[in-house]
Chains A and B, each alone.
Chain A
Amino acid sequence: MEKKILKPIVRVKNLAKTYPPNVNALSGVNFDLYDGEFVCLIGSSGAGKSTLIKLIICEERPTRGHIYVAGRDITTLRNKEIPYYRRRVGVVFQDFKLLPRLTVYENVAFALEVADATPSEIRKRVPFILELVGLKDRMKHFPNTLSGGEKQRTAIARAIVNGPKLLIADEPTGNLDPKTSWEIIKLLLEINRRGTMILLATHAKEIVDQLRKRVIVLDQGQVSSTQQKTYNL
């Protein structure tokens, strides 16, 4: 398989997170994610999905273990370096996390602005990305006037506007109806086809079944299965 030639973008090693007093959210998690992959991360509530994602985007520090992203151990990043790391990793959440006082265009542009993009880059890049996610005619709208699907498209546009190698989607369809959910998944597939690695955390069984992608199953803070292609829940 072509995967063998590719080097892992994300390498999770013996990752453990214990919340005080002694809740083991994760205990000894190991897996690799390869360049260009589309991987589903599944597991019931409390299995540790959210904790794992928080650790990958440096929102929390692990108790033990390491996460290597593009060869760099991000668990040892200094606080000052974290913003720079986050600009290179796109994240999409269940609750969209859009800035309510900024328009669709401004929300996407914000990610470029914090990364010190030039105004001309922003003027070129934002409309291009909004076109890609199908929101070109919603640019001047504020988030509270958008539908759930449009909000998530905006969030995805913001996540990919800096051209990240890795896009993490934490339950992106959790607040959406099935039809809209599929549109979002199709958008993620399109982004993956253009070369971005995607880690999709979800518990929507029908999506995982139909996607036929590699699945990592978390159970009680451990990886119980990481297999290729089809997986039956």
Chain B
Amino acid sequence: MITLFRIVKFGLVNFWRNWVLSSASVIVLAISLLIISAFVSFNFLLQKAVQGINQKVDVIAYFEDSADEAKILQMQDILKNWSEVKEANYISKDEALQKWLANVTDPRLKEIVTPQENPLPRSLEIKVNEAGDAQKIIDFLGEEEYKPLISKIAYNKIVVDKIVSYSAAVKKVGIILSSIFVLVAIYVVLNTIRLAIYSRKDEIDIMKLVGASPGYIVFPFVVEGIIFGVLAAIIAFALSLVSLQYGVNALLPAEILAESKTFLQVSTINLGYLFLLQLLLGMIIGVICSIIGVNRYLKNL
């Protein structure tokens, strides 16, 4: 207990009385955390956007006027139970008319369609979770049992195929780029902390000569690593908030923002997690780098 107290005190004293190098380490670590969180957030956003676009893919089946309503509702029930299907909405003739009237402005066009004389077909609007699942719906609609009921299937194959291949590529590139930047950031932090410890290798030797055990030498550096991590996380979080507030909304294309609401809305829910991630990552990186940095000077007698 008394030893723990001494180690913590010694770590704090060293951090404080060595503030130039300490703040250098904290700043570098904060910048790295910021880069890491930027990439994590970017990936998160990207996936939200891809997900949003994926879910926008509709397959619409239009039915012959002669088709049995019960049969159509049966199809709707089947599709609703599929895990691939997000929603399957039945549009009756009346609903189709409402939609038509809402979308058309020209009064002459409005006159053409009346409740009594309604050429608009009934339809099933099917939304899928992943664009790649659309083909399964098409196959289902093409089965012998249902084919005669359907007059037309609306679905853009080329767009769907592109979305499928893009979202896979975007995910891959995002993960690769993030990993590279994270590794570079950690490497820079490691070297900064190592340099800071290198400048104190004489002190480490002195501690050994006075009879300090390796633990007594290492743990104050671990304490310093934790302080580095906590301070860096606070700085990185503050900077993240500022950049989220002013930067991202202006940078991102409106469609993506609309897709995943606004970035801030998405992230407000996750700000706590972001800070937790930064705190945890900061402390882990700080402590590991400190241990690696100090360990090489402990090998000599």
- In the complex, chain A residues whose CB is within 8 Å of the CB of B213: 80, 83, 114
Cα distance, A102 to B167, chains bound together (Å): 58
Please indicate the chain B residues that have their CB under 8 angstroms from the CB of A223 in the complex. Answer: none
Report the separation of the CA atoms of residues A186 and B176 in the bound assembly, to the nearest whole angstrom: 69
What is the number of residues of chain B that contact chain A, defined by CB distance less than 8 Å? 22
Q: Is B2 an interface residue (CB 8 A)?
A: yes
Q: Is B212 an interface residue (CB 8 A)?
A: yes
Contact of A118 among B2, B13, B206 (CB under 8 A): B2
Q: C-beta contact mask, A66-93 vs B, less than 8 Å → 1, else 0?
A: 0000000000000110111111000100
Within A79-113, the residues touching B (CB, 8 Å) are 79-80, 82-87, 91, 97-102, 106, 110-111, 113
Residues of B within 8 A of A101 (CB): 13-14, 17-18, 203
- When chains A and B are docked, how far (Å) is the Cα of A84 from the Cα of B212? 8
Q: CA–CA, A91 to B2, complex, Å?
A: 26
Q: How far is the CA of A158 from the CA of B6 in the complex (A)?
A: 18
B2 touches A82 (CB 8 A): no
A59 interfacial contact with B, CB 8 Å: yes
User: Contacts of B13 on A, CB cut-off 8 Å?
Assistant: 101-102, 106
B191-238, CB < 8 A from A: 202-203, 205-214, 216
CB distance from A224 to the nearest CB of B (A): 28
Query: Which residue on B lies nearest to A119, using beta carbons?
Result: B2
**Contact: B207 with A99, CB < 8 Å?**
yes
CB of A97 within 8 A of CB of B301, answer: no
CA distance A114 to B219 in the complex (A): 12
A-B contact count (CB 8 A): 60
Cross-chain contact B209 with A86 (CB below 8 angstroms): yes
B-chain residues with CB within 8 Å of residue A119 when the two chains form the complex: 2
Chain B residues near A79 (CB-CB < 8 A): 301
Q: Are A60 and B301 in contact (CB under 8 A)?
A: yes
Query: Are A98 and B206 also in contact (CB < 8 A) when A114-B212, A114-B213 are?
Result: yes
A111/B210 contact (C-beta < 8 A), A101-B17, A101-B18 known: yes
- A139 CB within 8 Å of chain B: no
Q: Taking chain B's interface residues, is the majority helix, strand, or loop, or is none over half, making it mixed?
A: helix
Q: How far is the CB of A162 from chain B (nearest CB, A)?
A: 8
Choose among A82, A97, A113 the residue that contacts B206 (Cβ–Cβ < 8 A). Answer: A97
Task: Mark contacts of B1-35 with chain A using CB atoms, 8 A cut-off: 1 yes-contact digit, 0 otherwise.
Answer: 01100100000011001100000000000000000
- A146 to B2 alpha-carbon distance, docked (Å): 30
Nearest CB in chain A to that of B16: its residue: A101
Is the pair A115, B211 in contact by a Cβ cutoff of 8 Å?
A: yes
Query: How many angstroms from the CA of A82 to the CA of B209 in the assembled complex?
Result: 9
Q: Measured between C-beta atoms, what is the minimum distance from A110 to chain B in Å?
A: 6
Residue A177, interface by CB 8 Å: no
Checking B17, B205, B208, B210 against A110 with a beta-carbon cut-off of 8 angstroms, the contacting residue is: B210
**Candidates A84, A100, A116, A158; contact of B210 at CB < 8 Å:** A158
Q: How far is the CA of A100 from the CA of B204 in the complex (A)?
A: 11
Residues in A with CB closer than 8 Å to B6 are 113
* Cα(A9)–Cα(B210), bound, Å: 20
A–B pairs, 17, beta carbons within 8 Å: A58-B301, A60-B301, A80-B213, A83-B211, A83-B212, A83-B213, A86-B208, A87-B211, A97-B202, A97-B205, A98-B206, A101-B13, A101-B17, A114-B210, A114-B212, A116-B3, A118-B2
Chain B positions within 8 Å of A, measured between CB atoms, are: 2-3, 6, 13-14, 17-18, 202-203, 205-214, 216, 300-301
Q: 12 extra interchain contacts, Cβ-Cβ under 8 A, other than A86-B210, A97-B202, A114-B212? A: A79-B301, A83-B208, A83-B212, A83-B214, A86-B208, A97-B209, A98-B206, A100-B203, A101-B17, A101-B18, A110-B207, A162-B211
